[in-house]
Homo-oligomer: A and B are copies of this chain.
Amino acid sequence: MINILAISGSLRAASTNTSLLRAAAELAPAGVVIDLYEGLGQLPLFNPDFDVAMLPAVQTWQRAVAQAHAIVIASPEYVHGVSGVMKNGLDWLVACEEFVGKPVALMNASPRASHALAALREILRTMSASIVTQASIAVPVQGSGLDWTGIAAHSEMALALRQAIAALVREVEAPVGSMPYSSAL
């Protein structure tokens, strides 16, 4: 069983990025479970003085990331930047290196969110995540009026999501990103 953790950078109930992840979870093939992480909003603001042993919400978060075979992130762009919610979650992972070599798909519900996406890519690269290009897609959910069931039922969007998940699963099963000379193959 392949266990994928889905992380939305928005706490909005009607978030298009969260809807995209719920649709991805719905479309997961047999043998793959995609779990939407619901606890990002319960994390404290990052403070390196805090003792993580005293912060159950942070421990749960670090464990969920550590135990996942792969990660799918869909995060909004706020004023041309990564959402504070998303970055705060990532800041809590820096010291524990949970992202090192972890296959990550960077999805997005708005094709225009280019600044935040570039910033997020730089941050994840710095955390030594393995960003899976073929699994990183922009789906034009914003403005479509579709909720997650609508996305999952939309033939083109569903196809794009299925293909992205398949690419992420391939990376888990045979990690190309971890081969030092993969770009030369």
A residues adjacent to B (C-beta < 8 A): 11-13, 40-41, 43, 45-49, 78-91, 94, 115, 119-120, 122-123, 125-127
11 contacts between A and B (CB under 8 A): A13-B49, A80-B122, A81-B82, A82-B82, A83-B91, A84-B85, A84-B88, A85-B88, A85-B91, A87-B88, A88-B88
A45 touches B48 (CB 8 A): no
Partner of A90, one of B84, B122, B125: B84
Partner of A45, one of B82, B88, B127: B88
Q: Nearest chain-B residue to A93 (Cβ)?
A: B79
Partner of A87, one of B49, B84, B122: B84
Partner of A94, one of B45, B79, B94: B79
A45 touches B43 (CB 8 A): yes
Q: Nearest chain-B residue to A94 (Cβ)?
A: B79
Question: With A85-B88, A88-B85 in contact, do A123 and B47 touch (Cβ < 8 Å)?
Answer: no
CA distance A80 to B84 in the complex (A): 14
B127 touches A47 (CB 8 A): no
Partner of A83, one of B11, B46, B125, B127: B46
CA distance A89 to B45 in the complex (A): 10
